[in-house]
Amino acid sequence: MQAYIQHLARLAKLSVPNDKLNTFTEKMCAFMKLAETLPPLEMDERLPAERMLLRPDTVQPSLPRESVLHNAPKVQDEYIAAPGTLQD
**Choice between 29 and 82, CB closer to another protein:** 82
41 lies in the binding site for another protein (CB under 8 A): no
CA 32 to centroid of chain Cα atoms = 17
| Stretch in the footprint of another protein (CB under 8 A) among 8-16, 17-25, 28-36, 37-45 | 8-16
Rule CB under 8 A: is residue 52 a binding residue for another protein?
yes
Which strand (E) or helix (H) includes residue 18?
A: helix 18-36
| 80 contacts another protein (rule: CB under 8 A) | yes
Task: Enumerate residues 6+ apart whose C-beta is below 8 A from 21.
Answer: 2, 5, 6
